[in-house]
Structures are given as structure tokens and as C-alpha cells.
Amino acid sequence: MFVYRVVLYPEILPHAKAILDASVDLLGQDALIVMWRGLGNVPDADLADIGFRKIAGTELICRQSTLRSRFSEKYPRGQDVDVVGRPEFERWVLEQWQKEQLD
């Protein structure tokens, strides 16, 4: 799967590792996820912690879902996230998505 865009509400950003890790797990054990470095303002160190690796000579990173990451080993059942969605989250994300569409 190629992840083209990621928009995360600022309050959610500290939980980006948990969200991305859970998203990868939804695809099953035989998936390869590829995305651009820096997508969603998630730091490279956080992406490495959940198993993403650089693809040499490109600005792409990838993760093979069959491999366990340091994050997955630390939180085998996922990480609890204490953020509750609010209507302003949706409005903000839709606005950001529209801005991204225009770029």
C-alpha cells in the first residue's frame, strides 16, 4: 500500500506512532507499506521505532508488516490513547485536506 497523504490533528500527533502502527496491522501479515519521509510531520525516529526503513536513493520509507517493530514489541496489544475526538478535529482535518489538495 502506498500512503500518499497523512493529516493528523495537532492534539493527536503525540500518538502518531500508535495510530500508524495500528493502521499497518489492519492490513494483515503480508503487506508492504510505502510512504514519503516526513509525511504527517511524524519524526523519522518515531517512524523508525514502528519499523519504517529508508529506501536507498529516494525520499521513500517502507515497512513490511511481517516484521515486528520495537514499538510493537513494547505494546503487543497496542497503546492506549487518551484523546477523544471532537467536532473541531473533523473541521480542522477537512480544512488541512483541502489545502493539501490545492498544493
Give the domain extent around 87.
2-102
Confidence of residue 103 (pLDDT cuts 50, 70, 90): low
The strand pair at 53-54 and 60-64 is best described as antiparallel
DSSP state of 64: E
Domain count, the chain: 1
pLDDT of residue 53: 94
Would you say residue 54 has pLDDT above 90? yes
List, for residues 26-46, the tens digit of each pLDDT value: 888 888 999 998 887 888 898
The pTM of the full predicted model, rounded to 2 decimals, is 0.76
pLDDT of residue 60: 96
DSSP state of 14: G
Report whether 19 contacts 8 (CB < 8 A).
yes
The neighbouring-strand residues paired with 60 are 36
